[in-house]
């Protein structure tokens, strides 16, 4: 009898610990959707002309601590987002523009029912041949995951991380689609 109780107690405790482990941000959940501005941006020099050159920043998730966004996951989300918006095509070997992105900050709450995460990403878009800068800006984006989104705080934090990065990439793509020339001649927004 005591062995059965001990066995069931152990199973329940293991289930609680496993379900309470932090998980890393998922690429698909950070991918920005197709931008509505794309319909009017058919003359954009960036269409089918970009590649992700370098990604910096990001942190691996420690399952015993908090969810994070790794560099490979951020890079995957940025690539998928550029592809979804027609800015990057895998089959073009030497596109005109390079994107360099640095995830410099992921401001996360320690505790809360509604968890807001703010991401800071510095994006640079450089013309490959001339090395001329077309875009050089830090973008900050926040996203709030509520108790209704996920009752478990660990999952809520992951959802907030993913939403913040998705929103950050969405803003970047929106700004890119508004550009018509290099940063030196482009109007300030």
Give the residue with greater pLDDT, 37 vs 19. Answer: 37
* pLDDT reported for residue 96: 94
Residue-wise DSSP of 73-114: HHHHHHHHHHHHTTS--TT-SS-SEEEEEEEEEEE--SS-SS
Question: H or E stretch including 154?
Answer: helix 153-178
Residue 78, Ramachandran bin (φ over 0: left; ψ between -120 and 50: alpha; else beta): alpha
pLDDT digits (tens, 9 = 90+) for 52-104: 999 998 777 666 667 778 889 999 999 999 999 999 987 777 899 999 999 99
Strand partners, 126: 98, 133
Q: 35 pLDDT exceeds 80?
A: yes
For residue 174, report the phi and psi dihedrals to the nearest 5 degrees.
Answer: -60, -45
Range with the poorest average pLDDT among 80-84, 137-141, 171-175, 179-183: 179-183
* pLDDT reported for residue 120: 97
Quote the pTM value.
0.81
Q: In degrees, to the nearest 5, what angle opens at C-alpha 79 toward C-alphas 120 and 141?
A: 20
Q: Which residue ranges form the domains of the chain, and what is each CATH number?
A: 2-178 (3.30.160.150)
């Amino acid at each position: 009898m005591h062995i059965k109780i001990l066995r069931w107690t152990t199973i329940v405790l293991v289930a609680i610990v496993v379900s309470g482990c932090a998980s890393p941000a998922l690429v698909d959940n950070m991918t920005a959707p197709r931008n509505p501005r794309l319909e009017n941006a058919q003359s954009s020099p960036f269409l089918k002309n970009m590649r992700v050159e370098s990604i910096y920043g990001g942190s691996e998730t420690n399952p015993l601590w908090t969810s994070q966004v790794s560099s490979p996951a951020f890079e995957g989300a940025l690539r998928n987002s550029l592809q979804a918006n027609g800015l990057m095509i895998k089959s073009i070997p030497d596109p005109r523009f390079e994107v360099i992105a640095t995830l410099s900050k992921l401001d996360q709450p320690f505790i809360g029912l509604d968890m807001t995460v703010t991401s800071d990403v510095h994006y640079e878009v450089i013309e490959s041949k001339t090395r001329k800068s077309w875009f050089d800006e830090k973008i900050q984006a926040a996203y709030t995951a509520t108790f209704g989104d996920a009752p478990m705080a660990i999952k809520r934090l992951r959802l907030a991380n993913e939403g913040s990065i998705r929103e950050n990439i969405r803003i970047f793509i929106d700004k890119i689609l508004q550009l018509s020339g290099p940063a030196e001649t482009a109007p300030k927004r």
